[in-house]
Structure 1
Amino acid sequence: MMRPSLTELTAFMAVATHRSFRRAADELGTAPSTLSHTVRALEERLGVRLLNRTTRSVSPTEAGLSLLDRLHKVMNSLDEALDATAAFRGNVAGRVRINAPRVTIAYLVREILPLMTERYPDVEVDLVADGRLIDIVSAGFDAGVRLMEAIPKDMVAVPFGKPVHFLCVASPAYLERAGEPLTPHDLTQHRCIGHRLPSGKLYKWEFERAGQELTVETGGTVVLDDEDLMIEAAASGLGIAYVVSWIAEPAIAAGQLTPVLTSWMHAPERMALYYPGHRSVPPPLRAFIDVVKSQPSA
C-alpha cells in the first residue's frame, strides 16, 4: 500500500474536524468537490471508510475518529520539528492574531506581551477583545484564549498562568449598611451587580461547597458588561459583584472592597490558549505558544 500524501491527510483532518466539506474547503482554500475526491482517494488507498456522508451531514466513522486522533498528535510533532528550524533561518517574524475576552487580554498585555517583545521583537501580536465563543478559524484568528472548560474539544489547548479564581466582593460601607451574606441564598436579599454576557444574557453566579454546586440568578439595580466597571460600582457601594480575582485584588489591597462568601466560591479554573490541531502552526503562533508555556502555573 502506498503511503497517503500529506495533502490527503490534511484534507481528511479538515473535513473530519469541521464535519463539513464546505467549511473545510473554506479553510483550505479549495473547492468542496476537490476535497470530496481527495478524501475518497484516501479511503480507497487505505481500504476503509473514514467518513459517513449524507446529503445533510458528514461525520467520522469509528476508523475515522481513530485516525483523526492519531493524526492530531503526528501533525503537532511535525509542526514542532519544522518550527525548530526557525533558529537556523533567522528571527521569527510575522503577525499572530489572538481572540480573547477583554479581561484576559489585560492579563496578556501585562504578563505575555513584555516577554514576546523581548524574545521575538519582529512578531506583531494582534489582540482582539471579544467575549463570545466564536469559530476562530472562520473568523481569521490564529488562536483564542478561554477557560479550559469552554474550549471546543477539537482544538489543541495549552494551559498557562495561575489558576483563575472568582470572588464575590462588596465595599465595607455597603456591608455595614446591608450586612454580610452568609450563604449564596442570602444574595436574594442584597443588591447584586449583574454581569451581562456578549450574548445578552445575564451571567448566573456559580458556587460550590463540599461537593455541592449551586447556581444563583441575581438581581439588582445595576447591570454591566465590563469587569473593571463592576469593580468600580462595587467600590462605590452599589452592591455585590462577582468578578475574576486578579481584577479585584488591587481594590481589596486598598481596603475599597471586601471578599464575601469565600467558602462558597467555585474551584479555580485554568486558562488556556487554543488553536486548531489539524493545520500547520505558523512560526509567529509557535513563538507565542512558547512564551505562554513559560508562564508559572502555581
Structure 2
Amino acid sequence: MQRSALIELDAVLAVARRASFRAAAQELGISTSAISNAVAGLEARLETRLFHRTTRSVALTEAGQRYVARIAPAIAEIHRASEELHGDPLSPAGTLRINTSVGAAQMIFQPLILEYLRRYPQMKVEIVSEARLVDIVALGFDAGIRLAEAVPQDMIAVPLSPDLRLVVVGSPDYLAAHGVPQSPADLATHEGILTRLSHGGLYRWELERHGTAITVDVPARIILDDATLIRQAACAGMGLAFLSEWHITDALARGELVRVLDDWCPSFPGLRLYYSGHRHVPAGLRALIDLVRKQAPLTGAI
C-alpha cells in the first residue's frame, strides 16, 4: 500500500509519538507544512480536534488519545503486511520498534541490538526508553523489554537475561567514616542515595533474607532518577546506594564500591522480551526472537 493512502493516519501517529510536528515530519521524511495539513485535514473530516496546540507544545486531546489507541495497532499491521509482500523471511526488512526501560536498554544494546543490526542489514531499530510501563500494542510497538514481574499477563514472554540482583553498596571511604551496617535496621543511621520513580515517589529499598521481606526507608542525602548518577555519587562517598549488580560490576571489581548486607539481597527473575500473541508476528520481530533464543541468557553482558 502506498504511503499516500495512509499519510493522514501516519501523520497523526507520528505527531502523537513525537509530541512535535517538526520531529514527526523528520520521521516521515516530509515537510512540516505537509504533516500539519494532513492532520488538519483529518480533523476536519472527523469534525474533532485531535491535538492541543500551543507555540511550545503539542499534546493529544482526550478524543485524540482514544482515536490513536484504536488506530495504532491496525496501521502497524497494514504496514507490516505491505512490507511482507516483498520481504524475505530469511532477510527481513523494515523497522522494529521496541519499548523498554533505560537500564534494560543499556543492558541489551551491545550484545543483542547491535548484533541484530549486523545480521539483518535491511532492518532498522527504534528503541524508546522510559520508566513507565506502556501498552505496546496501542502505541504501535512491536515488542517490549522489561523485568519479568512487569510483563503483562496477556503477552508472550521470552527469557532474555539470567536472574538479576539489587545490592546495597558504599565506597570504602564512606564505610570507613560511617561504619558498615550489620542489619537493615542500621540503615536508619546512614545516608542514602535514593531513586525518584517516574510517578514521583521515592523507591523504598526492598530487602529479603530466609523468606523474611522488609522495606526500608533510608535517610536521603541525594535523590536522583538516573542509575549512572547514583553510581557516581556512591563512588564519590556521598552515601549508600541500592543498585543493579550489573550496573556496578566494574566499580566493584576496581574496589570503588563494596557490597554490604549482601545476604539481604537475593536475586529475582531478569529481563523478558515480550510481544502480543493475538496478532501476526512480523519477520523482523521473529528474527529478533530467534536471536534471543540462541543467545539468552546474555551471560556475557549482564
Mark yes or no: TM-score above 0.5. Answer: yes
One-letter amino acid of the counterpart of residue 116, structure 1: Y
For structure 2, the 5+ residue unaligned runs are: 1-65, 76-83
Q: Counterpart of 1:105?
A: 105
Which position in structure 2 is the counterpart of 1:180?
A: 180
- Offset of 1:264 from its aligned partner? 0.3
Is the CA contact 1:161–1:295 (under 8 Å) kept in the aligned structure 2? no
Tell me what 2:132 maps to.
132
Amino acid at match of 1:144: G
Question: Would the aligned equivalents of 1:95 and 1:125 in 2 still touch at CA under 8 Å?
Answer: yes
| Contact 1:147–1:272 (8 Å) recurs in 2 | yes
Equivalent residue for 1:156? Answer: 156
Which residue in 2 is equivalent to 1:214?
Answer: 214
For residue 42 of structure 2, what is the aligned residue in structure 1? Answer: none
Query: What are the within-5 Å matches in structure 2 for residues 44-123 of structure 1?
Result: 91-123=91-123
Q: Identity of aligned pairs, percent?
A: 39
Q: CA deviation at 1:219?
A: 2.5
Give the direction of change, closer, same or farther, for the CA distance of 1:162–1:138 in structure 2 (3 Å limit). same
For the 8 Å contact 1:146–1:272, the answer to whether it is kept is: yes
Which aligned segments of 4 or more residues in structure 1 are displaced greater than 3 angstroms?
21-30
1:224 counterpart letter in structure 2: L
Deviations 1:227-258 (A, max 9, x none): 01110000000001111111111111111100
Specify the alignment match of 1:197 in structure 2.
197
CA distance in 1, matches of 2:174, 2:215: 23
State the distance in 2 between where 1:179 and 1:105 align: 35
Q: Say which SS state the counterpart of residue 126 (structure 2) adopts.
A: strand
Residue number in structure 1 paired with 2:245? 245
SS in 2 for 1:221: strand
Question: Structure 1-normalised TM-score?
Answer: 0.70
Quote the offset at 1:260 in angstroms.
0.8
Question: Residue by residue, what CA displacement relative to the aligned partner does 1:126-185 show, whole Å, maximum 9, x if unpaired?
Answer: 111101111111222111111111111111111112221111111000000000111112
User: In 2, are the aligned partners of 1:208 and 1:267 still within 8 Å (CA)?
Assistant: no
Q: Distance in 2 between matches of 1:231 and 1:147?
A: 21
Q: Alpha-carbon deviation of 1:197?
A: 1.0
Structure-2 residue corresponding to 1:145: 145
| Helix, strand or coil at the partner of 2:163 | strand
Query: Could you list the per-position Cα deviations for residues 32-69 of structure 1 after superposition, in whole angstroms to 9, with x for gaps in the alignment?
Result: xxxxxxxxxxxxxxxxxxxxxxxxxxxxxxxxxxxxxx
> Is this contact kept in 2: 1:160–1:272, CA < 8 A?
yes
What is the aligned partner in structure 2 of residue 294 from structure 1? 294
CA–CA distance in structure 2, aligned partners of residues 116 and 28 of structure 1: 24
* Alignment gaps of 5+ in structure 1: 1-20, 31-82
CA distance in 2 between counterparts of 1:228 and 1:203 reads 16
SS across alignment from 1:206: strand
SS at match of 1:133: coil
SS of match in other structure, 2:223: strand
2:46 aligns to what? none
Q: Which residue of 2 aligns with 1:270?
A: 270
Answer whether contact 2:102 2:130 (CA < 8 A) is retained: yes
2:284 counterpart residue number: 284
Cα offsets for 1:59-112 (capped at 9, x unmatched): xxxxxxxxxxxxxxxxxxxxxxxx9xx76x652111111111111111121210
RMSD: 2.3
**1:113 is paired with a residue of what secondary structure?**
helix
Partner letter of residue 168 of structure 1? V
Alignment check: 8 A CA contact 2:72 2:139 kept: no
Relative distance call for 1:278 and 1:182 in structure 2 (3 A) is same
Offset of residue 22 of structure 1? 8.5
TM-score by length of 2: 0.69
How many Å separate the matches in 1 of 2:185 and 2:198? 26
**How far off its partner does 1:200 sit?**
1.1
1:206–1:266: 8 Å Cα contact kept in structure 2?
no
- On the 8 A contact 2:143/2:274 being kept in 1, the answer is yes
